[in-house]
Structure 1
Amino acid sequence: MLSFLAKRVPRTQTASRTTLLFDEGRSSIQFKAPGDKYLVVNHWPPASSEQDRNIALRPPLHWHRHQTEHFHVLSGQARFTLDGREIVKRAGESIVIPAQAFHTFCNASATEALAVELVLEPAWRARDEAFFRNVQSYRDDCRKAGVARSLPQVLLFNWAGGVVLALPGPPVLARLGGILMNFWGGLVLGKYVLGYQESYPEYYSPKQE
């Protein structure tokens, strides 16, 4: 193991928090109660500047290996990219993202804040919460430390969460390339060579039933 080569940052204790703030408080992610239908609520500022269009919560184009994803817009307007199509959903509207569909989303308005709640599937709730908490808390700790995120660490989080980056090219090759990147870059290099973890106790603590 070459863990001495890994990029480490101080980890903030966020596991007990129900709301995590990012981008100096302009955006946040709120975790819902275990019995709620939805898992989290994302709060985004109006997309009035480049800074607010590229907030911490904006996901890259990606896909989920197994889960169907459900979004419900609480307020504002969300622009979804789904397999190359642009779809705008407004307050009270929902959208279903099928498993393995390439997608991302952002705030579609330059004047309104966006609140959107989402869930994958109940069977994956604990894994999904661990993924969101680890990815976002790690991102914010890197921001506070003034360092770039480690790609092998991010890929390891993705591997554990069933999330795959949507690479360019023909879909079949793009999917295979994304899975291989998670495996070799995240699991092999990230975990077994550099000593990163799929989850950190500072970021996520499993709920006791």
Structure 2
Amino acid sequence: MLSFLARHVPRTKTAHLNPLHLDAGRSSIEFKLPTDQYLVINRWPPASSTANKAIALRPPLHWHRHQTETFHVLAGAAEFTYDGRTVVKRAGQTMTVPAGVVHTFCNASTTEELAVEFVLEPRSRARDEAFFRNVQSYRDDCRKAGVARSLPQILLFNWVGGVVLALPGPAFLAKPLGIALNFFGGLILGKYILGYRESYAEYYKARV
């Protein structure tokens, strides 16, 4: 193991927090009760605000290997990019992205906060909550430390969460390469060589 080559940042204890405030309070993620239809609520500032220009509140283009993702816009307007198309959904509207479809989303409004809740089906609430808590807490700790996120660590989170970065090129090549990138870059290099973990106690603790 070459863990001494890994790039670690001080980890903030966030596992007990709900909602989880990020980006110096400019955004948040709230985890809903297990009995609720949806898993989380994301809240992001307006797209034109100085705060939002300073933080990249748009997930990279990605797709889910096994899960369909359904979004429900609670407030504001969300711009969804999926399968090469763009659509705006407003408060009260929903958006469903089937497994395997490349997508991302952001706040489409220049004046309103965006609040959107979403869930992944089939459900795996513990795994999905662990994924979102680890990814978002790690992103925020890297922001606070002023360092770039480690790609092997991101790929390891993605491997466990069934999330695959969208690579350029035709889908019949790009998708298998994306899965291979998660496996070799995340599991092999990230976990077994560099010593990164799939989850950190500071970021996630299973609900009793």
Whether TM-score is above 0.5 comes out as: yes
Match of 1:80 in 2: 80
Contact 2:26 2:51 in 1 (8 A): no
Q: What amino acid is the match of 2:78?
A: A
Alpha-carbon distance in structure 2 between the residues aligned to 1:53 and 1:102: 24
Look up the SS of the partner of 2:96 in the other structure. Answer: strand
Aligned to 2:118, the other structure's residue is in SS state strand
**Contact map agreement 1:27 1:55 (CA 8 A) in 2:** no
Q: CA deviation at 1:24?
A: 1.7
Three-state SS of the structure 1 residue aligned to 2:123 is helix
1:32 aligned partner: 32
1:183 aligned residue: 183
Cα distance, 1:122 vs. partner?
5.3
C-alpha separation in 1, matches of 2:122 and 2:200:
22
Secondary structure of 1:123's counterpart equals coil
Shift of 1:49: 4.3
- 1:120 match: 120
Partner residue in 2 for 1:4: 4
Aligned-pair identity in percent equals 72
Measure, in 2, the Cα distance between the counterparts of 1:43 and 1:54.
16
State the alpha-carbon separation in 1 of the partners of residues 138 and 116 from structure 2.
22
Are 1:20 and 2:38 matched, yes or no?
A: no
- Give the gaps of 5 or more residues in structure 1: none
Q: How does 1:22-171 map to 2 (within 5 A)?
A: 22-49=22-49, 52=52, 55-121=55-121, 123-171=123-171
Q: Which amino acid aligns with 1:139?
A: R
User: Which whole-Å deviations, capped at 9, do the CAs of 1:36-94 have from their partners, x for residues lacking one?
Assistant: 11110000111114751563542100000000001000010000001001011000000
Structure 2 gaps of 5+ residues are none
CA drift of 1:23 comes to 1.8
Shift of 1:150: 0.6
| SS in structure 1 of the partner of residue 124 of structure 2 | helix
Q: What's the secondary structure of 2:185's corresponding residue?
A: helix
Q: Shift of residue 126 of structure 1?
A: 1.1
Cα 1:96/1:75, change in 2 over 3 Å: same
Q: CA RMSD in A?
A: 1.3
Q: Is the 8 A contact 2:30 2:41 kept in 1?
A: yes
1:41 counterpart letter in structure 2: I
Q: Deviations over 1:161-200 (max 9, x none)?
A: 0000001100111101110110110000000000000001
Deviations 1:7-54 (A, max 9, x none): 111111111111111222111111111111111000011111475156
Say which SS state the counterpart of residue 88 (structure 2) adopts.
Answer: strand
CA–CA distance in 2 between the matches of 1:182 and 1:166?
11
Moved more, 118-127 or 45-54: 45-54
1:200 aligns with 200
Letter of the structure 1 residue corresponding to residue 132 of structure 2: F
CA contact (8 A) 2:68 2:122 kept: no
Aligned length: 208
